[in-house]
Chain A
Amino acid sequence: MTAIPDTPAGGFRLPRLGRLRGIANAALGIAALMLLWWLGGLAVANDPDMFAFADFAPAPTLAALQDIVTSGEVWQMSGPSLYRVGYGMGIAAAIGVPVGIAIGRIPFLREITNVPFQFLRMISPLSWMPIAVMAYDTWDGAIVFLIAVAAIWPILFSTAAGVRRIDPSWLKVARNLGANPFHMLFVVILPAIAVDILTGLRLALGVAWVVLVPAEYLGVTSGLGYAINDARDTLDYSRLAAVVVVIGVIGFALDWLCMLAIKKFNWVRDTAH
């Protein structure tokens, strides 16, 4: 960093070099992970006790990955999973955002909900599993419920925190200019907290994606969690590892989309501007 001179000419080169270095470092990190994976595979293959698990190594995994991608199976696996996560996230947002705005705006609500919400938040979503299975007719319904339960808290708390950070003078000025409650919500409050809502969605997505796989160990016969379970039962370890890679790649991509959205809606200027 300090090697680059802080001259006016350097000022133009700096961002470009910085970006190149970022890409190079990311590539380095990926290479290091692959190396560790390969070394681990090597160690397993040479260990007589674990020799049966050699298919977890990069080469068989990538071959299996190529198979499930070219056969289109990857879409059959991830389609239902994405649908469940989307549905659960949608429910979580539909409840979490309005409730978050309400508890951010009304101190009384905040005070009465604080203890119950913090209590509920700390319960692992998966501990609702038996209840979800009893309460819903379909496995899909139970899974969507579990995802929604996991995803609602980050959205709700992030929204409420954003509302509390709204500059009170924005509300005062809007009132003074004749804003009605509808304007207040859609012209002032929601744009002001858009980034907080999206940050909450991003955190929620991380949790939901984690909860999804064990939730799909339930009775369903589709989705990434089912594919993992199925591969384990058939001792197809290269396929199992390939599904793990798919889960990681999709999770990474979803998170990246959230970050793009946050960047787009973020109205706070960089101080370096």
Chain B
Amino acid sequence: MVVTRFKTESGATKKPKAPAVKPVRGAHVAVRGLSHTYRRADGPVLQDLDFEIRQGEVVALLGRSGCGKSTLLHMLAGLSHPSTGEVAINGNEVRGPSPRWVMMFQAPSLYPWMTVAQNAALGLKFARRSREIATRVPDVLELVDLASFAGRNVQDLSGGQQQRVALARSLATSPQMLLLDEPFSALDAFTRRSLQRDVRDIARTLGITMVLVTHDVSEAVLMADRVLVLDANPGRVAHDVAIPLEDAARSTGSEAFQREQARMMQLYTDVAHGDATTPLT
């Protein structure tokens, strides 16, 4: 069933990418007049957010802890609901979770009593698409370089491998959008870089829209086509910045990358110091 097998997990050896996984039409997201106030909180955590995300776009929500970026991501996923305003995906208001958009968390949260393949198959099982498991699961495991790990218990895997299984699990149901909530922050630097690159590659190859929450400026610049820098108290979009980098330039060593990173760092620290009014150049 599996065409090729790879021995390494790190992604350091580049795979010959001929994906058996077919591209999808990425989701279009529109956030309109969104504000949110937690019960018993003094002020709103998010205020007057208005933005759109194009099909297949990779967008990073960058901000300090407490700026509401995770709350916003949960709302995009339909896991919670804003006090006012709405999130619309492909023109329809989001009312709850859906297999068409999947969230990935900081912890891989795999089920330790299941094998790699069983974990990856869960979304299909829940969606009553069990008949697709036999073909679909090997394909997504191949996509994340874990084809030869299908029968292993997830507890035998490293942190990076586990996060790859979580990615495969998210991709198995062919979602139109991936929502990542700081999914690489628990990993070592090397593993994190290779996953950042691979996840962006996979999303771009498949045409999936991706929204990424992070407080790591270099991660935002490496992965995103566009960065929304969020202000805190209340959470607002302070800057909406495009990252005009070719894929080849998306590595920490490239000069163009370092320029973009420096520019983003400047915006980020300005916002962090409450000086969000600096006009964009």
Contact = CB atoms under 8 A, between A and B. Distances in A.
18 contacts: A169-B105, A173-B109, A174-B122, A175-B79, A176-B97, A176-B102, A176-B103, A177-B99, A177-B173, A178-B99, A178-B123, A178-B127, A179-B126, A191-B111, A191-B113, A192-B113, A267-B112, A269-B112
Interface of A: 167, 169-170, 172-180, 183, 187-188, 191-192, 194, 267-269
B88 interface: no
A179 B124 CA distance: 10
Contacts of B155: 267, 269
Contacts of A180: 126
A267 B156 CA distance: 12
A187 B122 CA distance: 9
A147 B133 CA distance: 45
Nearest to A179: B126
Contacts of A187: 122, 125-126
Nearest to A169: B109
Nearest to B172: A177
Chain B residues touching A, majority SS: loop
Interface in B37-87: 77, 79
B169 interface: yes
Interface in B91-116: 97-99, 102-103, 105, 107, 109, 111-113
B97 A170 contact: no
Contacts, number: 55
A69 B105 CA distance: 61
* For the complex of A and B, 3 pairs with smallest distance between CB atoms: A267-B113, A169-B109, A177-B123
A159 B153 CA distance: 25
Contacts of A176: 77, 79, 97, 102-103
B80 to A, nearest CB: 11
A172 B98 contact: no
Contacts of B123: 177-178
A202 B253 CA distance: 60
A191 B77 CA distance: 27
Interface string B146-186: 00000001010000000000000100010000000000000
A268 to B, nearest CB: 7
A188 B109 CA distance: 12
Contacts of B169: 177
Given A169-B105, A172-B105, A177 B122 contact: yes
B222 to A, nearest CB: 25
Contact of A177 (B107, B112, B113, B126): B126
Contacts of A170: 109, 111
